[in-house]
Amino acid sequence: MASAPGDRFEIAINTPAGRVTTAVDVPTTFVPVTAIVPLLRRLGEEAQALEEARLAAEGESRSCTKGCAACCHMLVPLSPPEAYALVDFIRSWPAEKLERLASRFSQTKSALVSQGLWQRLMDLGESSVPPDDETLDPINRDFYALRLACPFLEEEMCSIYDERPAACRELLVTSPMERCQDMVQNEISPIPAPVRVSPVLGLLWGELTSSPPRLIPLPIVLDWVERNCRENEKTWRGSDLLDSALDKIWRYLSKTAPRLDDPSERNR
């Protein structure tokens, strides 16, 4: 979770795909909310691995492979903690690489402005009302119709693969790769995500800041973080952050799956 001195905990979470257990070092100091992002991603991926193992036992396997960038033309949502963590990460890049990235973001913005989508995305990122499907579906469809490549895509490869958003990690399919070239016309068989990390982080952020859960469209992430940079200066005690995150996972699972005994626990 962080490199600061802290306590080690064993975490166990029951998900629809099975039980996920992992160890985590929790700082006793105060840390920003971005400190919890890697842990929740790891929990999500470990739960996803259990789901893939279950499908493999039934004769199905992931068809996604390196070099396939079909899903990199979809609108990717981020929670505020993910948005801050992503921008913090790219700030360590060399100036030349940052300039290329800024150019691609600028090109994406110009295309979205010309199609009347930019302001809709900005309104979504700043909305005080949690987005629903009625709001999101037309925006997702209109964005996908443009077939804009993700600004982080370089030569059909993700330039932030290890730090990519949770939504990117969770979009996996068992259907043939070629079907993903047109996800509107073709039937896609997605692999269920036992835990969707971005909504969990959104719930966590909403509780920490007494604000509604927010969804930040990736094309506006640089602008959104700049406009809301002061929120990223807040810190919380590491153990409190972990407790709150585990509570949000429990709430998420209780709403999306049958109630499981002992859905989450933490033992020193």
Per-block average pLDDT, block size 10, for the chain (268 residues)?
70 92 89 94 93 89 78 92 97 95 97 96 89 87 93 91 93 81 82 92 93 91 95 93 94 64 37
Determine the pLDDT at residue 242. Answer: 93
The pLDDT value given to residue 1:
62
Asked if the structure places residue 222 within a domain, the reply is yes
- For residue 157, tell me if it sits in a domain: yes
pLDDT value of position 258: 39
8 A C-beta contact, residue 102 and residue 189: no
Q: Would residue 146 count as lying in a domain?
A: yes
C-alpha span between 177 and 56 (Å, rounded): 17
> 195: Cβ–Cβ under 8 A, 6 or more apart, which residues?
13, 15, 43, 44, 47, 249, 252, 253
Q: Is 173 domain-assigned?
A: yes
Residue 27 counted as domain residue? yes
Q: Are 76 and 168 in contact (CB under 8 A)?
A: yes
Whole-structure pTM value: 0.89
Residue 267: predicted pLDDT: 40
- Asked whether residue 68 is assigned to any structural domain, the reply reads yes
Q: Is residue 205 part of a domain?
A: yes
Distance CA 84, CA 87 (A): 5
In a domain, 1, yes or no: no
**From CA 76, how far away is CA 78, in angstroms rounded?**
7
Domain count, the chain: 1
Residue 224: what pLDDT? 96
- Per the structure, the complete domain to which residue 127 belongs is given by 6-267
